[in-house]
Structure 1
Amino acid sequence: MALVVMTGCTDGTDSTGTAAPSTGGDAAATAPSAAAGPDTETKAACATMSADIKTTMAKVAKAEKIGPPAGHSAVSAQYSAGAAGFYAHTFTTSDPVNDAAKQVATAMSDLADKYATGPADRPSRTALDTAVKQLTAACAAN
């Protein structure tokens, strides 16, 4: 009886023994579309990080107006908060974006540390500016 039930089923070959065309090319069909552009998660993370950079820099600018020595602590705190927020965005599906985000967070942390010591001169933001450019490029390429 099992043979009669199985007779209507096919194993993917036609009656001549050659393989029938497969319609299950889901992996191949989705691969080109996945490679065609950024995944939604990474795109959203890039947009959020861009907004976070602007927010952090606006808060830093406001804190810098306080002036030394209290202003140094306020600027340090803003950079620290910005760095902490950035680490939350380093878990996308894009390694280049993750790496660039970590560089931005590290540069912000370094600036926070420099301001915490009460520097005589304003610390350079070159490393942060470079990291932000790398993040922008990684997001654009993704």
Structure 2
Amino acid sequence: MKFTRQADAQWKGNGKDGKGFITTGSKVLEHTPYSYNTRFEDGMKGTNPEELIGAAHAGCFAMQLSVLLNAANFTVTALNVSASVNFEDGTITKIILNLEGNVPDIDAEEFQQIAHEAKTVCPISKVLHTEIELKILLKNT
């Protein structure tokens, strides 16, 4: 499978006082604001590159894990993934993926093994050159 996805960013003004807008090819984000304030100060309405990377990574990982679990003959009830993107001195230093899963009939050891494989083969994990930590909670009822 081969495809290309598109996203566009517009920026006006200098780094600290300027502002911009992000639009994705799907238009899910359309003219979404981002700025120095949305990136480095809390409480501002808008997005930032780090949360977009976190969203992409969490979504990609969850989908990859679901595919691998299905290939191992497990059916996912729910996978909830959050990504914490740590930024320090101009560098993304670490991403922590917090995984909570509900997958009937799987034991914790096999779930962890498949989750770690998903972390390794996830396309977004592969493109990021930072430490990626995975925290796992299996919640079977």
The verdict on a shared fold, with TM-score over 0.5 as the criterion, is no
Give the alignment's TM-score, normalised by structure 1: 0.32
Please identify which structure carries the higher strand content: 2
Between structure 1 and structure 2, the one with the greater Rg is 1
